[in-house]
Amino acid sequence: MIRKIIATAAIVLLAQAYLFLNILPAVIAFLLLIYLLYICLEFNPKIEAERDLPEKLYDGVRTKARLRIKNLTRKDYIVRIKERLPEGFFSEEPEFVLGRMEERSVDYWIIPSRGVYRIKGPEIHVGDIRGILKKKFQLDSLKEVEVLPSVEKLREEAKADANIRLSRKSRLGTPVEFESFRKFQIGDDSRRIDWKASARLGELIVREFLKEWEGDVYIALDVGREMRKGKPSKLDYAISLIYQISMALKEKKLGLVLYDEFGVRKVLRATTEKEKLLMEIKFPRMRGMQSLKVARLRIEKSILRKSPVRGFSLSLLSSIPQKSFVIFITDLSTNVGELLNAILQLRDSKSIVVSPNPILFSEIKMERDEILRLYKGYVEREELIRRMNRIVPTIDVGPRDLLGEIGAFL
Amino acid sequence: MISSAASVAIAFSFGLKAPLLAPAVFLMRFIKKEIAAFSYFLYCIFLCYEFSRAELDLAAIALILSALLLLEETVSERKREVVDYILAVSALLCILEPLMIIPILLISILRFLWKDRPFFGIFAIIFGISIVYLISTKNFSAFESIFILSSVSAFLFIAIVFLSFKK
């Protein structure tokens, strides 16, 4: 690049000399070309190199590789080491100045991925001290390495997973203050059953605790096409879930926000007459197969974007009073970025996302060809849920999961 | 660094503005070398636009040497030594005695050459100096000088392309 810029400068300066009949640019241009010629004539790197790599590596663990390199000329060079590693490997690309006749050992790290591989020698890019010319050397070594699973890494991952669960629980607040006893209802968390009271009264009794949040509960329900497909549809499941939530909330006020792929359809203010809210969810089932396509989540982009995607707006969600508890029920098939935007706007409210998993709701027969497609969709969805969880607690649910399974969050 | 100081001294001595941009070009190297090279390209154009000569005189030689040294200092990754700082200060002091700029610039260029330990490159330098000496001593008109320089430059260009391809 620098060579091209200098050569272009020489041509432009010669043109300038002709145009203005000025000798100065012509001399500078001529000397620039002499300078380039000088560098070309002087650049003749000769090196000797050898790389050491352990035979046994551990998956995901930084391993030190050592390159011994010797400059056989009386010139200084800029050296850059570039490893040609199998897919899934990562490595540092060290760059340093190698002095004349200097012999040097350079350590750099490699992060391997599990398996047995034959690793070729690294590429050594040698450039002149001015960075104008470069020459590539290839080490001809071929080494077989075995990358074993790392127990340490597995332990760390297990610990991180436990931490995520713990943080999720603490973020939502675990009820601590006892309020009263009541009869067991379907969907109640079995851990809240008071066995002594149940034995005394001869029926299942559960303990009630005071909730940590004080505001109203709002349910933002996705009533889009995908939610309405199938029999029973994800919307049917969502309605039964809302019913359970409304029963569990007792005197607390419940509000409802209905939205689809085009934006917010209806906002129903929080009220104690919860049955009326359920009557508002009048959306017909849709025909057709459920899409297993997982929406792409570009968190950074969508958070930075000030205006929502054309044709889709969840801006009405901002009308939800602050300090509310908002439960989003959506299959996350579309507009995930905008949903996250809306969640982030609800700053003083607590939010969770309950997401009916389209794969668990699908009616696809478990045939040989379908399994791979299902598996692929499942993995993609797992990744989406994992990324969502970094921002907002997200629960992936199937048709058999009732309030009991997600009760820990509520 | 030496070239920047020398350019500033030249600017004050000969009442020019463009050489005052040299320190900025030099500083660009700390951002990216490609940007520095492009800035150098623009610097040369500004410099030649401001300073017009039909034949080479002392000021022109000083400017040419400082411009060449500026390119070397901008692209080179060599570490600076104490001598470089002393030369830079000396170059700056040449505001008082402009004639001293040329020897200081020549010493600096020779130092760079010494560090490089050139072999074949020496011939290129000798060739370059001979051509510049030829056009400055013979009484060529400005057009003739430019024509000679551009003709030789065309051959140099081909030689560079050939050598780069070979290496």
Tell me what pLDDT residue A159 has. Answer: 58
Give the mean pLDDT of A164-171.
Answer: 52
On whether any CB of chain B is under 8 Å from the CB of A22, the answer is yes
**Confidence band for A120, pLDDT divided at 50, 70 and 90:** confident
Span A257-286, pLDDT tens digits:
888 877 777 888 888 777 777 777 766 666
**Among B48, B51, B117, whose Cβ lies nearest the Cβ of A74?**
B117
On whether any CB of chain A is under 8 Å from the CB of B123, the answer is yes
On whether any CB of chain A is under 8 Å from the CB of B120, the answer is yes
Tell me what pLDDT residue A304 has. Answer: 39
- A35/B68 Cβ within 8 A: yes
Say how far apart CA A114 and CA A57 lie, in whole Å.
9
Best of B146, B151, B152, B165 to mutate (most A CBs within 10 Å, chain A): B146
Q: Where are the domains of chain B?
A: 1-117, 118-167
Give the mean pLDDT of A380-385.
Answer: 80
Mean pLDDT of chain B: 86
In the predicted model, is pLDDT for residue A310 greater than 60?
no
In the predicted model, is pLDDT for residue A409 greater than 60?
no
Tell me what pLDDT residue A170 has. Answer: 46
Say how far apart CA A6 and CA A3 lie, in whole Å.
5
Total-model pTM: 0.55
Give the CATH fold of the A47-151 domain.
Immunoglobulin-like (2.60.40)
Q: Which residues of A touch B125 (CB under 8 A)?
A: 34, 38
Tell me what pLDDT residue A299 has. Answer: 44
Q: Which residues of B touch A15 (CB under 8 A)?
A: none
Tell me what pLDDT residue A291 has. Answer: 65
- A13/B160 Cβ within 8 A: no
A109 in Cβ contact with A142 (< 8 Å): no
Q: Which residue has the higher pLDDT, B40 or A379?
A: B40
Say how far apart CA A155 and CA A209 lie, in whole Å.
35
Mean pLDDT of chain A: 77
**Confidence band for A288, pLDDT divided at 50, 70 and 90:** low
On whether any CB of chain B is under 8 Å from the CB of A33, the answer is yes
Span B5-51, pLDDT tens digits:
888 888 888 888 888 888 998 898 888 888 988 899 899 888 888 87
Low-confidence ranges of chain B (pLDDT < 50): none
What are all long-range contacts of B151-159, with beta carbons under 8 Å and residues at least 24 apart? B152/A30, B153/A10, B153/A14, B153/A29, B153/A30, B153/A33, B156/A30, B156/A33, B156/A34, B156/A36, B156/A37, B157/A7, B157/A10, B157/A33, B159/A37, B159/A40
On whether any CB of chain B is under 8 Å from the CB of A25, the answer is yes
At how many degrees (to 10) do helices B101-116 and B58-75 cross?
A: 30
Minimal Cα distance from A45: which residue of B?
Answer: B167
Report chain B's terminal Cα–Cα distance, integer Å: 31
In the predicted model, is pLDDT for residue A342 greater than 60?
yes
Instruction: Verify cis geometry, omega within 30 degrees of 0, for the bond prior to A45.
Output: no
Say how far apart CA A228 and CA A217 lie, in whole Å.
24
The percentage of residues in chain B with a pLDDT greater than 90, rounded to a whole number, is 2
- B117/A100 Cβ within 8 A: yes
**Residue A279, Cβ neighbours under 10 Å: how many?**
8
Q: Which residue has the higher pLDDT, A153 or A333?
A: A333
Span A21-69, pLDDT tens digits:
888 888 899 899 999 899 888 888 888 888 888 877 887 778 888 888 8
On whether any CB of chain B is under 8 Å from the CB of A35, the answer is yes
Q: Which of residues 68-97 of A touch B (CB under 8 A)?
A: 74-76, 78, 97
**One-character DSSP codes across A199-242:** HHHTS-EEEEE--S--S-EEEEEE-SHHHHBBTTBHHHHHHHHH
In the predicted model, is pLDDT for residue A364 greater than 80?
no
Q: Is A214-409 in CATH node 3.40.50?
A: yes
Identify residue B70 by its one-letter amino acid code. Answer: L
Q: Which residues of A touch B46 (CB under 8 A)?
A: none
Tell me what pLDDT residue A169 has. Answer: 53
The enclosing H or E element of B45 equals helix B33-50
Q: How far is CA A63 from the centre of its chain?
A: 26
Minimal Cα distance from B166: which residue of A?
Answer: A40
On whether any CB of chain A is under 8 Å from the CB of B139, the answer is no
On whether any CB of chain B is under 8 Å from the CB of A40, the answer is yes
- Which class for A341: exposed (0-12), middle (13-18), buried (19 or more C-beta within 10 A)? buried
On whether any CB of chain A is under 8 Å from the CB of B52, the answer is yes
Q: How far is CA A355 from the centre of its chain?
A: 17
User: What interface predicted TM-score (ipTM) does this complex get?
Assistant: 0.92
A34 in Cβ contact with B149 (< 8 Å): no
What is the token pair recorded at A220?
A: 């933002």
Q: Where are the domains of chain A?
A: 2-42, 47-151, 174-212, 214-409
Strand partners, A34: none
Q: Which of residues 68-107 of B touch A (CB under 8 A)?
A: 68, 71-72, 75-78
Report chain A's terminal Cα–Cα distance, integer Å: 60
Q: Which of B55, B56, B50, B53 is nearest to B7 (CA)?
A: B50
The percentage of residues in chain A with a pLDDT greater than 70, rounded to a whole number, is 77
What is the token pair recorded at A371?
A: 């399994």
**One-character DSSP codes across A48-96:** EEEEE--SEEETT--EEEEEEEEE-SSS-EEEEEE----TT-EE---EE
Report DSSP state, residue A286: B
Tell me what pLDDT residue A315 has. Answer: 63
The percentage of residues in chain A with a pLDDT greater than 90, rounded to a whole number, is 0
Say how far apart CA A185 and CA A173 lie, in whole Å.
22
Tell me what pLDDT residue B55 has. Answer: 72
On whether any CB of chain B is under 8 Å from the CB of A249, the answer is no
How many beta-carbon pairs under 8 angstroms link A with B?
172
Q: Tell me the shortest Cα–Cα distance from A78 to chain B, in angstroms.
A: 8
